[in-house]
Amino acid sequence: MKRLLLLCLLVACKKQEAAPKETPVPQLSVAEIQRSEDACKAYVDKVCACAATVPAEQQECGLAKALPDAVRIGIEVSQSPDSKKQDVLGAQDSVRKAVKTCIEHMAKLPSLGCP
């Protein structure tokens, strides 16, 4: 009985193996950050200029102004040392989705009568 108890204690006290370290998430490159900011700024400038001549685009101008902020916040979260891996990946994904929206909406402007 004593041997069984001793064996149980030894097994319970066995060092837990260290959890494997998470591989760091690659950061957004400086070039990608710059392209993201430029794409959304260009879209806002163009759609708001268009809204001056095409009244139907006034609402879109107001909505577009949030996209550069969404990109900026996503970049800040992805670069924060306090962000967890999932947060970094989610923030990077949100930046890329916002930029995709900027580019796609920019491409639609000529069909809406915007120069």
pTM assigned to the model: 0.76
pLDDT tens for the chain, 115 residues long, are 656 555 555 566 655 555 566 677 889 999 999 999 999 999 999 999 999 998 888 999 999 999 999 999 999 999 999 999 999 999 999 999 999 999 999 999 999 888 7
Among left, alpha and beta (phi > 0; psi -120 to 50; other), residue 113 is left
DSSP string, 3-16: HHHHHHHHHHHSPP
